[in-house]
């Protein structure tokens, strides 16, 4: 059974008209993305850390570093640190926190228990 699907010029123009873009979903915690950072607080801290790196106080500054957390050979979750850098020869994992969610608290405990890494909060 064949159907004759023809559009009128008006129907075609209506379909061809660019549709308005959907607005990005607002962040649940009111954080506003700024440049490479996920929030204004993270952007401010990134600026501070870049100054410290330039002054030679810290080294090997990295932004948004991911850690995979496994327990008994089972992948539980991933944790993405805001900043990782070396300070006086010691690796520091830092998170710019505005609000400590229950999920973040759990991942922080897992980082300490599984990898032996204590997360510094700023």
Q: What is the pLDDT of residues 26-43, one digit of tens each?
A: 666 556 666 677 788 998
pTM of the model as a whole: 0.70
Range from 9-18, 57-66, 84-93 carrying the lowest mean pLDDT: 9-18
CA distances from 42 to 8, 34, 38, 49 (A): 53, 9, 6, 10
What confidence score (pLDDT) does residue 2 get?
55
């Amino acid at each position: 059974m064949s159907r004759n699907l023809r559009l009128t010029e008006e129907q075609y123009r209506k379909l061809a008209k660019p549709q308005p873009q959907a607005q990005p979903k607002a962040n649940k915690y009111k954080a506003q993305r700024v440049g490479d950072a996920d929030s204004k607080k993270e952007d401010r801290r990134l600026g501070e850390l870049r100054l410290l790196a330039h002054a030679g106080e810290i080294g090997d500054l990295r932004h948004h570093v991911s850690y995979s957390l496994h327990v008994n050979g089972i992948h539980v979750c991933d944790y993405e640190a805001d900043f990782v850098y070396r300070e006086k020869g010691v690796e520091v994992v830092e998170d710019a926190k505005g609000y400590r969610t229950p999920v973040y608290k759990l991942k922080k405990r897992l980082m300490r228990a599984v990898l032996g890494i204590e997360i510094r909060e700023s």
